């Protein structure tokens, strides 16, 4: 656990099909190959849009100071 008493800082970085979750600076989860089924193409395609959902399973949680910041352009 990387939780601290009081407010914690959660940072979620999503870059293409990968998401990295940092709690108070420590990586606590990573998701790769995020895809969604495309009925028209009959195959999985990269997940590039949708809702952002935050939840805590089995616990009361309060969020504050939420912001969305674009990643800087990749260096070529």
pLDDT digits (tens, 9 = 90+) for 19-67: 999 999 999 999 999 999 999 999 999 888 888 877 778 877 888 999 9
What pLDDT, on a 0 to 100 scale, did the predictor assign at position 62?
Answer: 85
User: Which contacts (CB < 8 Å, 24+ apart) does range 21-27 have?
Assistant: 26/2
What pLDDT, on a 0 to 100 scale, did the predictor assign at position 1?
Answer: 59
Give the whole-angstrom CA distance, residue 67 versus residue 28. 20
């Amino acid at each position: 656990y990387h939780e601290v008493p009081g407010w914690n800082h959660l940072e979620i970085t999503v870059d293409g099909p990968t998401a990295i979750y940092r709690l108070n600076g420590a990586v606590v989860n990573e998701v790769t190959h995020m895809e969604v089924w495309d009925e028209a193409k009959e195959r999985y395609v990269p997940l590039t849009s949708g809702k952002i959902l935050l939840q805590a399973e089995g616990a009361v949680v309060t969020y504050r100071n939420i912001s969305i910041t674009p990643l800087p352009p990749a260096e070529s």
